[in-house]
Amino acid sequence: MKSFNDILSIVNASLEKLRWEKDPKGLYAPVEYTLGLGGKRIRPALTLMACNLFNVDLEPAIKPALGLEVFHNFTLLHDDIMDKADIRRGKPTVHKHWNENTAILSGDVMQILAYMLLSEAPQQHLKKVLDVFSKTAVEVCEGQQYDMEFESRDEVQPEEYLQMIRLKTAVLLGCALKIGAIIGGASEDDAHNLYEFGINMGLAFQLKDDLLDVYGDEATFGKKVGGDILCNKQTYLLIHAKGLAEGATKLKLQSWLTDVQTTPEMKIQGVTLIYNQLGVKKICEDAMTVHYEKAIAFLEKVSVIPFKKQELRKLAENLMFRND
Amino acid sequence: MKSFNDILSIVNASLEKLRWEKDPKGLYAPVEYTLGLGGKRIRPALTLMACNLFNVDLEPAIKPALGLEVFHNFTLLHDDIMDKADIRRGKPTVHKHWNENTAILSGDVMQILAYMLLSEAPQQHLKKVLDVFSKTAVEVCEGQQYDMEFESRDEVQPEEYLQMIRLKTAVLLGCALKIGAIIGGASEDDAHNLYEFGINMGLAFQLKDDLLDVYGDEATFGKKVGGDILCNKQTYLLIHAKGLAEGATKLKLQSWLTDVQTTPEMKIQGVTLIYNQLGVKKICEDAMTVHYEKAIAFLEKVSVIPFKKQELRKLAENLMFRND
């Protein structure tokens, strides 16, 4: 069994070997730039770890694993255009560094490059791998659509929010694990249980993200705390706060969401105070715990000895109890 | 052997059956809209015709054929954003009818839907089909990139232009034929010859487009003649005119390209006059003929009896001698 760090080294070394230093530079330079920005590389790592549960040979899973990372980065690239985001991982986004047309077209080519890498899955598993991937890729687009729609809606139900983050974030983690399992030769049941482990881990992961944005420690979090509050992002916290607030608190929350006169610091402080009064931090933590425990339960069902699953369990723990 | 019209009926009926009336509507309505705008449906028709050369059973080629049409429409959708085009096939483009974010995301999902359809190719041909398709899809992006770069360059060589239209337009026609041939069970050689038939037909097709924009009959052409001239589009005609013009003609051409005081009618008339003086119409027609004849030569090499190839030959003729 390989440790998470061993797996990550394989991912990084393999990703390093993929170069797109081709012409036209205007198309490929942004691809190199985007993939060079770093990131946790969680998705390809999950693919290799899942494969490793059933097989010592990881080689056949490497290219498909990288395909998932390329796909993930493609979605970030296009999402950044749609969200008009200027900064990604501390650097200018592609549409800022170059321009919007470049960002659209380089994203398009990345999606194809992702499929090229996925298509390197062993012949006997190819159709299954592609089916899982395409279904997931479509869902990720649906998630982004819902996310955008929510921003212009006044009221969003917590269940709708969970469904949105399931599509936008969780399914790709489930897919990464399932593809690794398939290539590793897992049974249908095991592949399914790993998929559900990923889904629930993904949900917990995103809820943790919502929490960190408000309650994170800026020094370790790596980005400014309160970003979601400043742009009125419909997070699990805000959605619940809107649903629970009554009377004066409701009016106060409403005024923080619409007041443009205030300073950023005051708004963050004010909204956080309301969150604390309404107890939405605990609601979010509880939901996170529910999904974290569901994830672990699915992992336990996977029919390999517990020792082999230690690394995945540790990874889930680390993601859940991380501070960044 | 099925006639072109029979093939087109199959394409249209099969395309009609694909519905994306799903949620979120904001994502899928533009997909339905785009595919409902019509078009020649040349690419899926080519796939089925190529398949039909080797096999009476077209069924296994239908979904992959439709995948190529979906992909083609995806490229038009994203190209229209990049080119800031307001109208496509007489209707508002998606980014005009909805907005740019919708056009980006719906295009992204169409690319995945295209891959889903391509992945329905028979198992034994799947890898080959995907390899041809992905290679082509990447080339189409490269072609679009060159096309955009040319618009901001003063000088483009005719060979560069031919390479650009090969990537942007011709390779997808070649790919459509090759995929049909592969699924039909053709030999490597036959698949290759059909690919080259498509490439050369595509080049001739685009040169014909350049000619029609200037010398087409508005009544049958369906769009306003002179559109390329008005936006200084780097066509084969303009590139050659720039290369050939000297002295007063050169100055005159330069003034037409930069003068914003003139009326559209005067500019079209003035530039066309220079084209006529320089004989670039004939240069373009000759290049078109060269590629048309190359196309036919490759078609002749395909090892099936001439009778079976009649429909493809007729189609190539019709595209070449069309007025719209």
Q: What is the CATH number of domain B1-186?
A: 1.10.600.10
**3-state class of B315 per DSSP?**
helix
CB atoms within 10 A of CB B238: 23
**Percent of chain A at pLDDT above 90?**
91
Task: List per-residue pLDDT tens for chain A, 324 residues long.
Answer: 899 999 999 999 999 999 888 999 999 999 999 999 999 999 999 999 999 999 999 999 999 999 999 999 999 999 999 999 999 999 999 999 999 999 999 999 999 999 999 999 999 999 999 999 999 999 999 999 999 999 999 899 999 999 999 999 999 999 999 999 999 999 999 999 999 999 999 999 999 999 999 998 876 666 778 999 999 999 999 999 999 999 999 999 999 999 888 899 999 999 999 999 999 999 999 999 999 999 999 999 999 999 999 999 999 999 888 877
B window 233-262, beta carbon within 8 A of A: none
CA distances from A26 to A21, A104, A109, B80 (A): 11, 12, 12, 19
Handedness of CA A98, A100, A101, A107 (dihedral sign): positive
Distance, CA of A238 to CA of B218 (rounded, Å): 58
Phi-psi group of B33: left, alpha or beta (phi > 0 → left; psi -120 to 50 → alpha; rest → beta): alpha
Distance, CA of A264 to CA of A192 (rounded, Å): 45
Using CA coordinates, name the residue in chain A closest to B83: A101
Q: Are residues A66 and A16 in contact, defined by beta-carbon separation less than 8 angstroms?
A: no
CATH of A187-324, one of 1.20.1600.10, 3.60.15.10, 2.40.50.1040, 1.10.600.10: 1.10.600.10
Residue B148 C-alpha, separation from nearest chain A C-alpha, in angstroms: 9
Residue B52 C-alpha, separation from nearest chain A C-alpha, in angstroms: 25
Identify any residues that bridge with B92 across adjacent strands, giving them in sequence order. Answer: B87
Facing residue for B127 by CB, picked from A112, A126, A148: A126
Q: Are residues B263 and B281 in contact, defined by beta-carbon separation less than 8 angstroms?
A: no
Q: Are residues A193 and A299 in contact, defined by beta-carbon separation less than 8 angstroms?
A: yes
A123 Cβ neighbours under 8 A, 6+ residues apart: B127
Residue A73, chain B, CB below 8 Å: the answer is no
Are both A1-186 and A187-324 of the same fold? yes
Residue A155 C-alpha, separation from nearest chain B C-alpha, in angstroms: 17
Closest CA to A184 of A3, A312, A56, A2: A56
**3-state class of A91 per DSSP?**
strand
Residue A152, chain B, CB below 8 Å: the answer is no
Task: List per-residue pLDDT tens for chain B, 324 residues long.
Answer: 899 999 999 999 999 999 888 999 999 999 999 999 999 999 999 999 999 999 999 999 999 999 999 999 999 999 999 999 999 999 999 999 999 999 999 999 999 999 999 999 999 999 999 999 999 999 999 999 999 999 999 899 999 999 999 999 999 999 999 999 999 999 999 999 999 999 999 999 999 999 999 998 876 666 778 999 999 999 999 999 999 999 999 999 999 999 888 899 999 999 999 999 999 999 999 999 999 999 999 999 999 999 999 999 999 999 888 877
Distance, CA of A168 to CA of A174 (rounded, Å): 12
Facing residue for A149 by CB, picked from B24, B111, B149: B24
A16 Cβ neighbours under 8 A, 6+ residues apart: none
DSSP assignment letter at A99: -
Residue B73, chain A, CB below 8 Å: the answer is no
Domain coordinates of chain B in residue numbers? 1-186, 187-324
The token duo for B315 is 């189609």
Q: What b-and-e string marks burial along A69-79, b requiring 16 or more CB atoms within 10 Å of the CB?
A: bbbbbbbbbbb
A63 Cβ neighbours under 8 A, 6+ residues apart: A14, A117, A118, A120, A121
Record: contact A113-B138, CB cut-off 8 A: yes
The token duo for B114 is 């295209």
**3-state class of B92 per DSSP?**
strand
Interface test with A, best of B76, B106, B119 (most A CBs within 10 A): B119
Q: How many cross-chain Cβ pairs, A to B, lie less than 8 Å apart? A: 98
Query: What residue type is B296 in one-letter code?
Result: I
Residue A130, chain B, CB below 8 Å: the answer is yes
Q: Is B47 exposed, middle or buried (0-12, 13-18, 19+ CB in 10 A)?
A: buried
Q: Are residues A61 and A140 in contact, defined by beta-carbon separation less than 8 angstroms?
A: no
Residues of B with Cβ-Cβ distance to A115 under 8 angstroms: 115, 130, 134
Handedness of CA A29, A33, A35, A36 (dihedral sign): positive
Strands (E), chain A: 87-88, 91-92
Closest CA to A16 of A34, A42, A30, A36: A36
DSSP assignment letter at A200: H
Closest CA to A180 of A302, A295, A319, A288: A302
Taking the complete model, does pTM exceed 0.90, yes or no?
Answer: yes
Residue B18, chain A, CB below 8 Å: the answer is no
Residues of A with Cβ-Cβ distance to B98 under 8 angstroms: none
Q: Token pair 């493809």 is at which residue?
A: B312
Record: contact A78-B24, CB cut-off 8 A: no
Facing residue for B148 by CB, picked from A101, A109, A119: A101
ipTM > 0.90 for the complex: yes
**3-state class of B91 per DSSP?**
strand
Distance, CA of B168 to CA of B160 (rounded, Å): 12
